[in-house]
Amino acid sequence: MKHFLQITDFTVEELQTTLKRTKAYKDNRLDASTCLNKESWGLLFYKSSTRTRVSFEVGIHELGGNPIVLNSQNTQIGRGESIKDTAKVLSRYLHGLVIRAYDHSVVTDFAKYSSMPIVNGLTDFNHPCQILTDLFSILEHLSPEAIDLEALKGKKVVFYGDTASNMANSWILAATYLDFDLVLAGPKGYEPKDTILNALGAKGLNSRHTFESDAQKASEDADVLYTDVWVSMGDEAEANQRKATLKDFQVNQTLLSKAKSNALFLHCLPAHINEEVTEAVIEGPNSIVYDQAENRLHTQKAILAQLKS
């Protein structure tokens, strides 16, 4: 039995298969496999979600399964029932569980005590379903037929803003595991934390990112520009300080003009317009954010199919 808690939980070959399957599901959305035939999958949320919740709910339904949306407050988790007991009991009813939590240890503990696959729907450490979607969305442009990870080689991806966040960590894992160039453009003090460097070390990998505190310099000849909110869920108490510190890392026309003319702009969404990105960039010709959001559906179906294979 496999779990999907970070992208390194799949081999590179499995990731490539999942990306190709994503394209098949996208090309043929409603006539796809019914690999979850009659299975019930839980979706357990400790924090808010629009895309992850709806795309998994729709995707599980389209694969022939039954999605059951739960949250920590309306289950006994909110009254203190342990993860161990919750995981053991839910494993008797469900065939798999997607979890969005604050602390990454929640998903690793569920994985430890469950006898069903656990999928990480975002933690403070990383967001593997999102990063796999992001890679697919880029490869749709670089390698539209083959969706071949090799097409990332030699490309320059720049992540702007909160370079110590769950999405930055997801990019660090992806670049290191899949061997492509990543520039983290953030202020001093927002360098990647030990948690991500130790996670790579545990896999025998050294991070291959570079860190650049000059956003203009970071943007030169970029192939992909990526940003995320400056105040992630759970960071609200630091909102004012973060907005002041990160203001020079807003993705705007000035930064975009330094990148290649056909550079792609991505954002996992939700976006805060005129904070981390301007309206002109997110609505402009380089932006693929709405395709990217749609691709959450197709990619997640492919992740579930891979876990069943």
7 binds, among ligand CP, ligand NVA, none (CB under 5 to 8 A by kind): none
Q: Which does residue 167 bind out of ligand CP, ligand NVA, none, counting CB within 5 to 8 angstroms by kind?
A: ligand NVA
For 217-255, b/e burial (b = at least 16 CB within 10 A) is ebbeebbbbbbbbbbbeeeeeeeeebeebbeebbbbeeb
Alpha carbon distance 165, 127 (integer Å): 10
Which of 4, 91 has the CB closer to ligand CP? 4
Nearest residue to ligand NVA by CB is 232
Q: Which is nearer to ligand NVA, 8 or 126 (CB)?
A: 126
Stretch that binds ligand NVA, among 25-33, 196-204, 229-237, 274-282 (CB under 6 A): 229-237
Q: Tell me how many residues contact ligand NVA (CB under 6 A).
A: 9
Catalytic residue, candidates 21, 223, 228, 242: 228
* Binding-site partner at residue 50 among ligand CP, ligand NVA, none, CB < 5 to 8 Å by type: ligand CP
Binding residue (CB under 6 A) for ligand NVA from 163, 232, 278, 287: 232
Least distance between ligand CP and beta carbon 234 (Å):
12
CA gap 58, 52 in Å, rounded: 10
| Main-chain dihedrals φ then ψ at residue 289, nearest 5 degrees | -65, -30
Q: Per-residue x/- marks for ligand NVA, 170-209, CB under 6 A?
A: ----------------------------------------
Catalytic residue among 21, 51, 53, 127: 127
Confirm if 173 and 197 have CB atoms less than 8 A apart. Answer: no
x/- map, 118-157, ligand NVA, by CB under 6 A: ----x-----------------------------------
Contact of 2 with 119, CB cutoff 8 Å? no
Active site residue 35: no
Q: Name the active-site residue from 3, 53, 104, 130.
A: 130
Q: By C-beta, is 117 or 121 nearer to ligand CP?
A: 121
Binding site for ligand CP (CB under 6 A): 49-52, 122, 130, 268-269
